[in-house]
Structures are given as C-alpha cells and as structure tokens.
Amino acid sequence: MTVRDTVTEEPSFVSTAVRRQSETEREQVVETRSTEVRWRSGARELLVVALLYAGYSVGRLLADDDLAAASDRAAQILHVERLVGLDLEWAWSTWLASHHVLAVAASYWYSVGHYTVTPAVLLWLWWSRSSAYSKERWTLVLASAIGLVVYVALPVAPPRLMGYVDVLATTATAGWWTEHASAPAGLGHLTNELAAMPSLHVGWAVWAGLAVWRLSRRPVVRLLAVAHPVVTSVVVVATANHWLLDVVAGAMLVLVVDAAVSVWRDRRARRPEAHEALEAAGGR
C-alpha cells in the first residue's frame, strides 16, 4: 500500500455511517411523501362525505311536498302492515311517549346518532381498514343515492304526520334540536318531512353495523355493531318517524347494494387490466 492510498482510503466505519445516514434520509423522504399522500386522500374523502350529506339534504328539499299524496302512500303502507299484523307504530309511540326519560333518550338517538356514527365509521375505515374502505364507501353512497331518488319520486308521510304521537316534538324542551320538532323560526322551509320510505336512518345504521362486524374481531365491538341498527330500528318506529316497512326497506336497500357492489368489484378484480388500474388509483 502506498502513502497516497493510505491517505485517501476512507475508514470502513465512516462509509458505514454515511450509508446509514443516507438510508435514514431516504426513509424520512418516503415517510413524508406517504403522509402527504394520506392527508390529500383524507381531504378528498372528506369532500366525498360532505357531498354525500349535501346530496342527502338537497334531495329531501327537492321532494314533492304534496302532503295529501304522501299521506295516501302512507295509508297504503299501513294497510299492508295491518294485513300481516305489523302495524306496531301506534302502540310503540304511545308507550314511549308515556315514559319521558326513554322518550328523551330515543329523541337524542334519532337526532344525533344518524349524523355521528356513520361519519365515525367512515373515518375508522379510512384510517384503519383502508383495504375495505373503497367498497364500503361506495355501498353507502349508492344506497343513499337510491334512497334519495325514491324520496323525490314517491314521497311518503311519516306516522307523526298521520295523527300518531310525535315523540320528538313532545321532548323538544330537553335541549336538543330537530328539523321538524324545534327548528328555529324561518328555517322550516329548509327540509322536506315527507321522506319516510325507505328509512335511511336504518339504512345507514345497517351499513355501519355490517362494516364494523366484518372488519372487527373484538366481541364487544361486534355486539355494538349489531345493537346499533337494532336500536335505531326500534327508535325510528317508536318516535313515529318511520313505518315498520320503511325500516325493512332501508335495511334491504343497503344489503342489496352491498351485495351488488361486492359482485361488481369481484368481477373487476378478475380482469388483469382493470385490477392494475384499480391498484394504480389506490383502490379508490
């Protein structure tokens, strides 16, 4: 070894340290880019949820406000329920109205749970179950869109507009706000109340429960996943906001759309080119 070689040769521990530093820097860059992509994706999905809610509200506004026609359809639903012995709305709503504490609890569940549990499940799916997020989100969006089309085309009056006890109205002094029981003066025109069939309250609850049941293995969480749509179904009927057949229709709508979306995605996954395009788009 010459003197020149001795002078210019880099010690091995120095080159190792340089390599490690370079690898660390590359990992930091990758992590930073991944975080940026995740936040951009999150912002996009938040926009989707906002549009879903806006569509839900606008769709209800566009529905025909002909109470007579909507009441006729409600009477037809009630007639079918009586034929099969499922006209439970009067008994449930009068019983609930006579139990004030339960009536208040049911009113809070009806007015708050619909708009909190669904976004919470969407956020959980996006953050912790990203592989399933796209499919579950599309199920929710499509089912909601179909429900809104029915609202616009065939509005149906809820039981509370057919002479049944309006439990939300009787408990409105408990401190919560609803679109029909305690809306501030001048805001009554911002919603259409003839949107009973199908029950998207129940539909969204079934969607949330089904998604959590599939993707969680914790017994307590799965129990809550089952309880949420069951309690919601009882609440919407007992508060006289939906007919029992509205509940069945809302649940069936989500289950059918869920099955259809699953079949559609399975077929796309079997096509190599479509599958690659889906992966390139992040499954979303």
> In what helix (H) or strand (E) does residue 126 lie, and over which residues does it extend?
helix 114-128
Helix, strand or coil, per DSSP, at residue 261: helix
On whether the CB atoms of residues 284 and 133 are closer than 8 A, the answer is yes
- For the chain, how are helix, strand and coil distributed in percent, rounded to 5? 80, 0, 20
Q: Each residue's pLDDT tens digit in the chain (284 positions)? A: 554 455 455 566 556 655 665 666 565 555 555 556 566 666 666 676 677 667 666 666 666 567 888 899 999 999 999 999 999 999 999 999 999 999 999 999 998 888 889 989 988 898 888 888 888 999 999 999 899 889 888 899 999 999 899 999 888 887 655 554 434 333 333 345 778 899 999 999 999 999 999 999 899 999 999 999 999 999 999 999 999 999 999 999 999 999 999 998 888 777 765 555 556 555 55
Predicted confidence (pLDDT) per residue in 143-166, tens digit: 998 998 898 888 999 999 998 999
Q: Output the six-digit token pair for 186.
A: 């001048």
Which of 104, 113, 233 is closest to 173 using CA atoms?
Answer: 104
Q: How far apart are CA 106 and CA 167, in angstroms?
A: 9
Largest alpha-carbon pair distance within the chain?
Answer: 105
Predicted confidence (pLDDT) per residue in 202-244, tens digit: 999 999 999 999 999 899 999 999 999 999 999 999 999 999 9
pTM across the whole model: 0.75
* Residue 119 CB coordination number (10 Å): 15
Q: Output the six-digit token pair for 150.
A: 């029915």
- Measured torsion, CA atoms of residues 60, 64, 66, 69, in degrees rounded to the nearest 10: -100
Q: How far apart are CA 51 and CA 37, in angstroms?
A: 21
